[in-house]
């Protein structure tokens, strides 16, 4: 390794508890314009030929990475420094206006995929960056309405629709608590704010860099209490309401759905074996 790379890695490891080198490689990839796969190969090969880093970490690029490393060590998430996050095999644009897509949320997409096809109408409530709804639009070529109370989030959604080439998508500014919704949908997906005010006090500083509007929800359940009742009639008979939920919330959210008139919901675990998704079907009438 060159002295430059060693110094950057040492700075990262001094402040970042997990995946310091992985995040450093991501920043080098972004600022050098090389793929992350190429950077990983260089990192491995540089053990035997340290000069390989010289073609990547030029003075200009190294300085950009240094500035980014300083911000990362101050707590700014790497995704906000590179304006990119990877979700369901695609690259999405992100900035401080939206929540950073998590791999856990891919579980929601995996649950929704078999329930949608080209003829489906899908509503993505609290859409944020649009990663859920746009992934469904791309995978199933279905029509997707992306709805969020934040105009800033919708701007990011539009960027991602263009970036990914998603078709048959529309955008509406929509407040779950005060606005009505037009249309009938086959599937409604929602990853709402679900962190309680008390839990907010325990979050890592990186998470607190993300928009509070997309994270905090009083006791953690306001959206889950309202949506099953309010949007029941916005679903076609036999349609599905699919939530992402926080750890320990699945039973309560399932009960909210049952009380609203849905069939007994199914619960799905994420890759960490945490109950992450609640899927409720509207009774046929």
pLDDT in tens, 16-36: 888 999 999 999 999 999 999
pLDDT of res. 17:
81
Distance in angstroms (rounded) separating the CA atoms of residues 118 and 253:
29
Q: Which of 277, 273, 285, 270 is nearest to 249 (CA)?
A: 277
78-115 confidence digits (pLDDT tens): 999 999 999 999 999 999 999 999 999 999 999 999 99
Span 187-227, pLDDT tens digits: 999 999 999 999 999 999 999 999 999 999 999 999 999 99
**E strand or H helix at 144:** strand 143-148
Helices (H) and strands (E) in the chain, counts: 11, 9
Q: Percent of the chain scored above 90 by pLDDT? A: 92
Q: For residue 59, is pLDDT > 80? A: yes
Residue 233 has pLDDT above 60, yes or no: yes
Cα-Cα-Cα-Cα torsion 221, 270, 281, 183, nearest 10 degrees, comes to: 70
Give the model confidence (pLDDT) of 150-169 as tens digits: 999 999 999 999 999 999 99
pLDDT of residue 285: 60
| Three-state secondary-structure class, residue 203 | coil
137's enclosing H/E stretch is: helix 131-140
- C-alpha Rg value of the chain to the nearest Å: 21
Q: β-strands 275-281, 266-269: how paired?
A: antiparallel
Under 8 Å between Cβ of 179 and 203: no
pLDDT at 1 over 60: no
**Which pLDDT score is estimated for 163?**
98
User: Can you tell me the distance from the alpha carbon of 176 to that of 277, in angstroms, rounded to the nearest whole number?
Assistant: 20
pLDDT at site 9: 93
Residue 50 pLDDT greater than 90, yes or no = no
**Rounded to an integer, what distance in angstroms lies between the CA atom of residue 39 and that of residue 125?**
37
pLDDT confidence of residue 2 = 76
267 beta partners: 278
Closest CA to 98 of 150, 135, 147, 164: 150
pLDDT at position 54 is 87
State the pLDDT at residue 116. 98
CA distance 127 to 145: 9
Question: Which residues, 6 or more positions from 226, have their beta carbon under 8 angstroms from its beta carbon?
Answer: 176, 177
Percent of the chain topping pLDDT 70: 99
**What mean pLDDT is reported for the chain?**
95
């Amino acid at each position: 390794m060159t002295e430059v790379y060693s110094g950057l890695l040492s700075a990262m490891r001094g402040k970042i508890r997990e995946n310091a080198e992985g995040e450093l490689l991501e920043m080098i990839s972004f600022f050098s314009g090389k793929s992350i796969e190429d950077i990983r190969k260089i990192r491995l090969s540089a053990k035997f030929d340290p000069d390989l880093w010289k073609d990547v970490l030029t003075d200009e690029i190294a300085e950009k990475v240094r500035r980014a490393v300083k911000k990362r060590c101050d707590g700014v998430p790497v995704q906000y420094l590179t304006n990119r996050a990877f979700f369901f095999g695609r690259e999405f644009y992100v900035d401080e206006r939206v929540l950073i897509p998590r791999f856990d949320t891919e579980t929601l997409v995996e649950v929704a995929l078999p329930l949608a096809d080209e003829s489906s109408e899908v509503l993505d409530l609290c859409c944020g960056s649009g990663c859920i709804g746009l992934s469904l639009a791309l995978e199933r070529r279905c029509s997707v309405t992306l709805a969020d109370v934040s105009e800033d989030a919708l701007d990011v959604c539009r960027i991602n629709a263009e970036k990914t080439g998603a078709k048959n998508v529309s955008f509406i500014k929509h407040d779950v608590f005060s606005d009505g919704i037009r249309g009938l949908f086959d599937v409604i997906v929602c990853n709402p704010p679900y962190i309680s005010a008390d839990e907010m006090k325990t979050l890592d500083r990186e998470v607190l860099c993300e928009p509070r509007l997309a994270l905090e929800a009083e006791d953690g359940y306001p959206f889950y209490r309202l949506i099953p009742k309010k949007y029941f009639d916005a679903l076609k008979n036999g349609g599905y309401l699919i939530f992402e939920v926080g750890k320990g919330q699945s039973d309560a959210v399932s009960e909210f759905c049952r009380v609203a008139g849905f069939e007994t919901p199914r619960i799905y675990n994420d890759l960490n074996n945490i109950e992450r998704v609640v899927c409720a079907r509207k009774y046929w009438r």
